[in-house]
Amino acid sequence: MGCCCGPASRRVILKIQGMSCEHCKRSVEAALKGLDGVEKVAVDVGGGEAVVDYYPARLTVEELKKAVVEAGYEVSSVVQ
Ligand SMILES: [Cu+2]
């Protein structure tokens, strides 16, 4: 949704390796949600991915990937 006067958010799916439990899910979620410009995060441990709605005007996909890597996981690919 978002505000009618603001820039639109964009959705990407990060394919993440190394997640195995609820703790992993929370770590990745917290890492992504902590970034300025991230609107919404949904992590699927079983599917090994995170669906992220973010504002391209405020941060890049590279920064999303970096946050996941810094949390201790690997991003194998990004679906835009
Ligand atoms: Cu875990």
pLDDT in tens, 39-69: 999 999 999 999 999 999 999 999 999 999 9
- Could you tell me the pLDDT band of residue 7, with boundaries at 50, 70 and 90? confident
Q: Is 60 exceeded by the pLDDT of residue 2?
A: no
How far is the centre of ligand 1, averaged over its atoms, from the C-alpha of 26 (Å)? 9
How far is the centre of ligand 1, averaged over its atoms, from the C-alpha of 49 (Å)? 14
How far is the centre of ligand 1, averaged over its atoms, from the C-alpha of 20 (Å)? 5
How far is the centre of ligand 1, averaged over its atoms, from the C-alpha of 24 (Å)? 4
How far is the centre of ligand 1, averaged over its atoms, from the C-alpha of 1 (Å)? 31
Full set of structural domains in the chain with CATH: 10-79 (3.30.70.100)
pTM: 0.89
6 neighbors 12 (Cβ within 8 angstroms): no
Q: Is 80 exceeded by the pLDDT of residue 6?
A: no
